[in-house]
Amino acid sequence: MTTHLLLAARAFGASGAVYTGKRDLVLEETIADVVSEWGGSFDLRFSESWRSELRDWGASGRVVHLTMYGLPVQDVVSEIQGCGSDLLVVVGGAKVPGEVYGLADWNVAVTSQPHSEVSALAVFLHELSEGRGLEGVYDGARLRVVPQARGKLVEDVSGGV
């Protein structure tokens, strides 16, 4: 699930991510490989404490917590876009500590129905970027998908062999 969250975050325009829990060097290598092959920049780091990350971030930026119990994304996205601060988007599992709700500047619901954290993040970032995340072309890419109606075509655009 964490890999899928990070891939969605990167694909929809996030500049990086912080993950907590148990450090996973394979996860870090996987994401670094994706960035190397598909371009762009995406800073991934591990933190021992989600609590200190939220508190530290809240000192200079704003925190958005994605939860099905929050305010509808369509009702708050323009306020979030206009906040003028860097955003930390918190995505948790089924048992998010209640403290997260208090530390967040916005508790945002993509729907009020059970759904995937990955889908919530993708929809939120899509709304936040007003659809620009769908462009999905990054500088420094070695690989690029060539859109077509049928089949799959990936080309090497790095000039290498």
Average pLDDT over residues 1-25: 95
Q: Which CATH number fits domain 2-156: 3.30.70.20, 3.40.1280.10, 3.30.420.40, 3.20.20.410?
A: 3.40.1280.10
pLDDT of residue 18: 96
pLDDT digits (tens, 9 = 90+) for 63-120: 999 999 999 999 999 999 999 999 999 998 778 899 999 999 999 999 989 889 999 9
Q: Does the pLDDT of residue 161 top 50, yes or no? A: no
pLDDT of residue 93: 74
pLDDT digits (tens, 9 = 90+) for 52-69: 999 999 889 999 999 999
The answer to whether the CB of 62 falls within 8 A of the CB of 86 is yes
Q: For the chain, what is the HEC assignment?
A: CHHHHHHHHHHCCCCEEEECCCCCHHHHHHHHHHHHHHCCCCEEEECCCHHHHHHHHHCCCEEEEEEEEEEEHHHHHHHHHCCCCCEEEEECCCCCCHHHHHHCCEEEECCCCCCCHHHHHHHHHHHHCCCHHHCCCCCCCCEEECCCCCCCCEEECCCCC
* pTM, two decimal places: 0.92
